[in-house]
């Protein structure tokens, strides 16, 4: 009986296989004739319950049928795969040209930062760095901003709450109302001046490019997050003068813009320089004729500068009167705007790829 059924299953399977046209149909066929729950499998599983004589006959017959069906299945599978469009899709044409992987590129601010670094390193300047989150001392006190003096308000500051870490490492941070140390995202790159001077002895010349933050309303030339670059050159006695400053600034602008740009110095006030200047360049968006970006003035305020106040040297531990130097802090983001004729500063940090891809 069983022998007959096995032969029938084998013949039926072989016949059914001839009607299979797709891989989906083949899968159904495989489950029916070779699957774990197939009739043939059930018969083979039941061998253990047969008498030894029956086993001797049914066993080899069943296994031979299974093997024959499996061989037929593999053959059908091969033929179907060859014909199927999936197989065509997966075929690799090793002679086809490759698809270029999308790659990012340098942000215009970074391009400008790299250019500035190249120019200054060729003039013998080193590049220094400092923290973006700063304490009140280096951002204000050491730079001769008197305590509670309105000069501190010149730079709209994002003050950070002093936080205690969660007890036992779990839960939220709690405000530490007793903390005397006040922290802030630095309002200017001048925070690195005294940090650098504390560990270096003049003469030296450095630039400090970096990100700065101010709590102010944004418009075409003001962002809450922007980039500045500081320049600090200090020498013994009168080695470094206003003339040195003028020469370095002129050389930098000529190389950076590849042409002469109109520069205007106005008297200014910074607690950390004496005398102090405000530094403007002619607006490249309108070539100085007046436009919304320069608020019709023809000039863009680029930065502040001056001779380092002796009180700053003292804060760094230098003896009063021994050294003299100049410092400036220029808006790197504004330089990028002038270089690439970008009329609105907010575009630079907007994350709009249509804008960024133009550089």
Please report, as ranges, the residues that interact with ligand FA5 according to CB under 6 A.
155, 188, 190, 214, 216, 222-223, 226, 228, 230, 270, 273, 301-306, 327-329, 331, 333-334, 345
Residue 308 CB, shortest distance to ligand FA5, in Å, is: 8
**Which residue has the CB atom at the shortest distance from ligand FA5?**
331
Closer residue to ligand FA5 in complex, CB, 46/275: 275
Rounded to whole angstroms, the Cα distance separating 147 from 223 reads: 26
Residue 116 CB, shortest distance to ligand FA5, in Å, is: 14
- Cβ atoms of 139 and 186 within 8 Å: the answer is yes
Give the shortest CB-175-to-ligand FA5 separation in angstroms: 27
> Judged by CB, which is closer to ligand FA5: 62, or 303?
303
Q: Which of 240, 180, 237 shows the shortest CA–CA distance to 205? A: 240
Q: Which is nearer to ligand FA5, 32 or 295 (CB)?
A: 295
SS3 231: strand
Distance, CA of 104 to CA of 2 (rounded, Å)? 69
Please report how close the Cβ of residue 129 comes to ligand FA5 at its closest, in angstroms: 16
* d(C-alpha 75, C-alpha 265), whole Å: 87
Buried b (16+ CB within 10 A) or exposed e, 157-194: beeeeeeeeeeeeeeeeeeeeeeeebbbbbbbbbbbbb
Distance (Å, whole) CA 228 – CA 216: 16
User: How distant, in Å, are the alpha carbons of 54, 82, 174, 332 from that of 354?
Assistant: 79, 45, 42, 22
Tokens standing for residue 13: 């399977």
Q: Give the nearest distance from C-beta 340 to ligand FA5 in angstroms.
A: 15
Give the ranges where 143-258 is alpha helix by DSSP (H): 191-199, 242-257
CA atoms of 185 and 160, how far apart (whole Å): 8
Nearer to ligand FA5, 5 or 222 (CB): 222
Of 12 and 314, the one with the shorter C-beta distance to ligand FA5 is 314
User: In whole angstroms, what is the distance from residue 307 CA to residue 43 CA?
Assistant: 100
Instruction: Name the minimum Å distance from CB 166 to ligand FA5.
Output: 34
Q: State which residue, 185 or 303, has the beta carbon closest to ligand FA5.
A: 303
- For ligand FA5, which is the closer residue by CB, 78 or 146? 146
Q: Could you tell me the smallest distance in angstroms from the CB atom of residue 228 to ligand FA5?
A: 5
Smallest distance, Å, CB 352 to ligand FA5? 18
- Give first-to-last CA distance, the chain, whole Å: 83
When the beta carbons of 62 and 329 are compared against ligand FA5, the nearer one is 329
């Amino acid at each position: 009986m069983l022998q007959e059924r096995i032969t029938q299953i084998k013949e039926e399977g072989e016949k059914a296989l001839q009607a299979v046209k797709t891989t989906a149909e083949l899968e159904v066929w495989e489950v029916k004739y070779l699957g774990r729950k197939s009739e043939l499998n059930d018969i083979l599983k039941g061998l253990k319950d047969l008498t030894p004589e029956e086993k001797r006959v049914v066993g080899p017959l069943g296994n031979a049928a299974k093997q024959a069906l499996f061989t037929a299945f593999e053959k059908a599978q091969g033929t179907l795969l060859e014909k199927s469009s999936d197989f065509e899709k997966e075929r690799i044409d090793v002679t086809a040209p490759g698809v270029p992987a999308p790659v990012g590129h340098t942000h215009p601010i970074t391009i400008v930062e790299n250019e500035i670094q190249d120019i200054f390193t060729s003039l013998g300047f080193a590049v220094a760095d400092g923290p973006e989150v700063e304490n009140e001392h280096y951002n204000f006190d050491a730079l001769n901003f008197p305590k509670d003096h309105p000069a501190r308000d010149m730079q709209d500051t994002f003050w950070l709450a002093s936080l205690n870490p969660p007890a036992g490492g779990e839960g939220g941070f709690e405000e530490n109302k007793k903390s005397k140390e006040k922290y802030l995202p630095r309002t200017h790159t001048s925070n690195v001046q005294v940090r650098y001077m504390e560990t270096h002895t003049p003469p030296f010349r450095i630039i400090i490019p970096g990100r700065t933050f101010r709590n102010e309303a944004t418009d075409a030339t003001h962002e809450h997050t922007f980039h500045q670059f500081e320049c600090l050159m200090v020498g013994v006695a009168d080695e470094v003068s206003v003339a040195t400053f003028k020469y370095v600034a002129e050389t930098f602008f000529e190389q950076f813009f590849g042409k002469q740009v109109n520069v205007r110095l106005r008297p200014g006030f910074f607690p950390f320089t004496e005398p102090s200047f405000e530094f403007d360049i002619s607006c490249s968006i309108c070539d100085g004729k007046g436009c919304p970006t320069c608020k019709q003035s023809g000039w863009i305020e680029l930065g502040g500068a001056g001779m380092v106040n002796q009180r700053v040297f003292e804060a760094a531990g230098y003896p009063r009167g021994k050294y003299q130097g100049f410092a400036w802090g220029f808006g790197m983001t504004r330089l990028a705007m002038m270089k690439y004729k970008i009329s609105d500063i907010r575009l630079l940090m907007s994350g709009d790829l249509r804008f960024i891809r133009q550089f």
